[in-house]
Amino acid sequence: MQNPLFDALLAPHRGSDDPFIMRPDGSSVTYGEFFEAVTRTAGALKSRGLRPGDRLALQVGKSVEALHIYAACLMTGVIFLPLNTAYTADEIAYFLGDAEPGLFICDPDRRSELSRVAGKTGTEFLTLSQTNTGSFADLVADADPIEAAEPRSPNDIAALLYTSGTTGRSKGAMLTQENLLSNAEVLVEEWRIARQDRLLHALPIFHAHGLFVAVNTTLATGASMIFLPAFQIDAILDALPDATTMMGIPTFYTRLLDESRFNAALVRTMRLFVSGSAPLLADTHDRFADRTGHRILERYGMTETGMNVSNPHDGERRAGTVGFPLPGVELRITDPDTGRDMPDGEIGVIEIRGPNVFKGYWGMPEKTREEIRENGFFITGDLACRDAQGYVRIVGRNKDLIITGGYNVYPKEVEMVIDEADWVRESAVVGVPHPDFGEGVVALVVPENGSVPNLQALRERIAGGLAKFKQPKEIILIDDLPRNTMGKVQKNALRDDYAELFMQKRAG
């Protein structure tokens, strides 16, 4: 019997002496060692009575042992549910209640707080620290390895990943064996990932980017990775000369560019830099190319679909775009109201169909029906247009669209004009309640360090470039944009912070 993910990603590595993981302290793990530890971890899961289809929730710091657990879930057919380490006890209570995992593993530091939460939902609870101590580590040390993987079919759920949930309840995306495997295979092909590659891995592993995109493509090819606990600039600069690829969020690249030590000599062995999870500014792309000679390959994806669209490996990587649909992925850009296809060059919602599209939201059949059409297209909620050569350009989330006085304003369009000013580092444009217009356009602008902001000149630039209704009614300077761990600007936080802006003015 088969287990497609196990057969493709794990079984080939049994007994191999090839290097898999290098840690910053110089220690390393071969594929054979990893495989052996996975069989023991799988034994530990079985000893706790976990069966195929049960869920295992994991909220621990990034470690090789956390990867053992992921791989052991694949082997035993247990559905892997990784959780952001930033989640609070209240949030954890929601996930445990919603997913009803058979086991929850968290960091020993949070034992007292989270054991109470797990107690309420009656969830079995064990601990694992980043240095492999805790009750789960003890269980694995005593466990008998298992030999054979549980049979699984392509349509069986392999992982449950909760979306970041910026509006309403966070939803658990059910990702199947086929979703994960097809995506890993297409990325290996498209990005030319091979056994000789050594990936610089500094992303979190509770998210699709660091887990599936980075780890699954490595396992699929027998490549190796330098496994850093987080993005820490000195460790990155040390590791770069030994790496051939890096996957990052845009903040990684801006932070590298802020470093005078970062230069072309340091990336001599690199062949590919990939960016995603949030928009990479065209300016960052260009400055990175000037500094290193490398054009960052920007791609677009989401929890529900894995990777959808990518700039080409060979051929022009166009700054400010995410490229073309991956092979096997169908993309439509549609009118959000009618669902009809939009002509090229016009903005609409991205819809995606393909083997990468998730099976639905856990326990939410109605939400699933709202977002996955009967014909199989998933409505992503991202707004985009396609240029004449077919490159897809994302302009924001549908829910971030501003409607002011009945007119649509796409924040990105305004942000691009603002970002052109020399002294501007970056900006975020949001709509907040306005007594006359429904929503009023507000620009939050972050100046470059040490620059002298010239708001008058900025207003003139905006007036010269944008129709009156798109022009921000307020421009506010701030030190930093609020971002989540994946580098996404938290526009809902900004909308909350400035919700009273126009209402107060009127009252005043």
Residues that bind ligand AMP (CB under 6 A): 163-164, 208, 276-279, 298, 300-303, 322, 380, 382, 394, 397, 486
Structure token digits, residue 331: 């993309």
416 vs 361, 382, 392, CA distance in Å?
Answer: 34, 17, 16
Chain centroid to CA 440: 30
DSSP character for 313? S
Q: Which is nearer to ligand AMP, 108 or 396 (CB)?
A: 396
What's at 219, amino acid-wise?
L
Residue 486 Cβ vs ligand AMP, minimum distance, rounded to whole Å: 6
Give residue 194's region: left, alpha or beta (phi > 0; psi -120 to 50). Answer: beta
Residue 382 Cβ vs ligand AMP, minimum distance, rounded to whole Å: 5
Cα Rg of the chain, angstroms: 23
SS3 call for 162: strand
Residue 189 Cβ vs ligand AMP, minimum distance, rounded to whole Å: 20
Chain centroid to CA 170: 15
Q: Which is nearer to ligand AMP, 40 or 207 (CB)?
A: 207
Is 275 within 8 Å of 296 (Cβ atoms)? yes
Q: Which is nearer to ligand AMP, 54 or 371 (CB)?
A: 371
Q: Which is nearer to ligand AMP, 300 or 502 (CB)?
A: 300
Who contacts 11 (Cβ-Cβ below 8 Å, separation ≥6)? 149
Q: Which is nearer to ligand AMP, 266 or 352 (CB)?
A: 352
Distance CA 275, CA 247 (A): 6
Is 123 within 8 Å of 96 (Cβ atoms)? yes
SS3 call for 22: strand
Angle at 68 between CA 185 and CA 135, to 5 degrees: 155
Residue 321 Cβ vs ligand AMP, minimum distance, rounded to whole Å: 9
Q: Which is nearer to ligand AMP, 129 or 164 (CB)?
A: 164
Residue 53 Cβ vs ligand AMP, minimum distance, rounded to whole Å: 24
Q: Which is nearer to ligand AMP, 75 or 256 (CB)?
A: 256
Distance CA 472, CA 466 (A): 10
SS3 call for 85: coil
Residue 309 Cβ vs ligand AMP, minimum distance, rounded to whole Å: 8
Q: Which is nearer to ligand AMP, 114 or 347 (CB)?
A: 347
Paired strand residues for 45: none
Residue-level length of the chain: 508
